[in-house]
Amino acid sequence: MKNGRDPVIVGLADAPIEDGKFVTKASVLGHAALVAKAAVEEAGLTLDDVDGLLTAGMWGVPGPGQLATVTLGEYLGIMPTYVDGTNIGGSAFEAHVAHAAMALREGYCEVALIVYSSDQKSLRSRNLGGRPSVLSMQHETPYGMPTPVGGYAMAAQRHMHEYGTTSENLAEIAVATRKWAQLNPAATRRDPLSVDDVLSSTMISEPLHLLDCCLVTDGAGAIVMTTAERAKDLKTKPVAVKGYGEAHTHWAIGEMPDLARLLPAQKAGETAMKMAGVSHSDIDVVEVYDSFTITVLLTLEALGFCKIGEGGDFVSGQRTAPGGAFPMNTNGGGLSALHPGMYGMFLLIEATRQLRGVCGDRQVAGAETALVHGTGGTLSSGATVILQKD
């Protein structure tokens, strides 16, 4: 049953980048402000209408990361009455959509603005989003394991050992994602890519090659949410937030309960799909975090699109590429489009655009329901959102 306070997405914006760097000369806060303003204006609102503010990461902002929301609010010149600085890594923005949805339903705010900005490419820095050094990674970093790729490599090795997954299976994901990027003029990497190219690229942390790894780019994005009732007076066609879920199990990879299974994704996905009242066959387009190719394979299994251990077969034959049976990561993903440190924001933007039907050559025909899943930390957290054409 529809309700006037049902949460919907009504505004989007992302910053243009070229060769992985911001096109516009501005600070990380400046880019956050630019996308925030553009997103509210797309919806037919102004920053003065915003009374809910959610952000995380904000790499390049001086001072403790937990103050990013306060700093951004000051920079935007607004006084939000609902704030959320939850940071669970790259899945934070899927969690923010869930939290904003709950706040809107309960009347804590009327217009929620979710913002992210990072200039890690321009700064030539990958500071891991301010991960604490005390009692964290103490069993990994001192022994030379590269972070975060080493943890993902351990998961890949374990999956290969238990289920016979191959490097070729993982390469299929990178190749399919690149084919989507070739249809996206805004993608950073659009040159042709083959399985052999992936397998012959530099080994970073066995068994993960360079082209199994996400890009390092700048990026900024914003999402505006409001209620279904308020959306009636706005400029854009709303996209409904129908379900959501989140979970996390560990921070250090040594504490991951099962290296070959992504338990947070399983829990978050089950919760979101049950809330939305949808099954796997109802999903038209899937946007999942692709920090590394193994992230995708583990996520697809955990979300139930295939059985545990069968992810390699599921993605074979370019199933997830344009024209395949399973449209996934349709902008080119973190592997080929952009990855500014915390990619979950851009999964949501792409899914919403697909449901709006504005993606041009990469548009998935008849897309009405999308599943978005973010992964944070070292396979640590997961958050799922189900979006529908309203």
| Threshold 0.85, pTM exceeds | yes
| Host H or E run for residue 205 | strand 203-205
The predicted structure's pLDDT at residue 62 = 53
Residues 14, 104 within the same domain:
yes
> Within this chain, do residues 68 and 153 fall inside the same structural domain, yes or no?
no
pLDDT mean over 154-168: 98
pLDDT for 61 equals 59
User: What is the tens place of the pLDDT at every residue in 95-116?
Assistant: 999 999 999 999 999 999 999 9
Sequence-ordered strand ranges (E) for the chain: 7-14, 17-18, 21-22, 52-55, 82-84, 111-118, 203-205, 208-209, 219-227, 239-248, 285-288, 369-376, 381-389
Same structural domain, 185 and 229 = no
Collapsed DSSP state (helix, strand, coil) of residue 387: strand
Q: Is residue 98 one of the residues assigned to a domain?
A: yes
Q: Coil, strand, or helix at residue 339? A: coil
pLDDT for residue 147: 86
Structure tokens at 209: 């090659």
Same domain, 263 and 224: no
Dist CA 165 CA 340 (whole Å): 29
Say whether both 266 and 359 belong to one domain: yes
Confidence at residue 390, expressed as pLDDT on a 0 to 100 scale: 78
Q: For the domain that residue 75 is a member of, what is the CATH number? A: 3.40.47.10
Contacts of residue 258, Cβ cutoff 8 Å, sequence gap at least 6: none
pLDDT(181) > 80: yes
| Whole-number Å distance between alpha carbons of 324 and 198 | 20
Sign of torsion, CA 259 264 265 269?
Answer: positive
3-state secondary structure 242-273: EEEEEEECCCCHHHCCCCCCCHHHHHHHHHHH
Kindly state whether residues 190 and 332 are assigned to the same domain: yes
What whole-number distance in Å separates Cα of residue 166 and Cα of residue 1?
46
CB atoms within 10 A of CB 90: 31
Round to whole Å and give the CA distance between 79 and 48: 9
Indicate whether 287 and 195 sit together in one domain: yes
pLDDT digits (tens, 9 = 90+) for 299-313: 999 999 999 999 999
Percent of all residues in the chain with a pLDDT value above 70, rounded to a whole number: 94
Same domain, 200 and 299: yes
Residue 378 binned pLDDT confidence (cut-offs 50, 70, 90): very high
Range of the domain at 222: 7-124+218-238
How many structural domains does the chain have? 2
Answer whether 214's CB lies under 8 Å from 339's CB.
yes
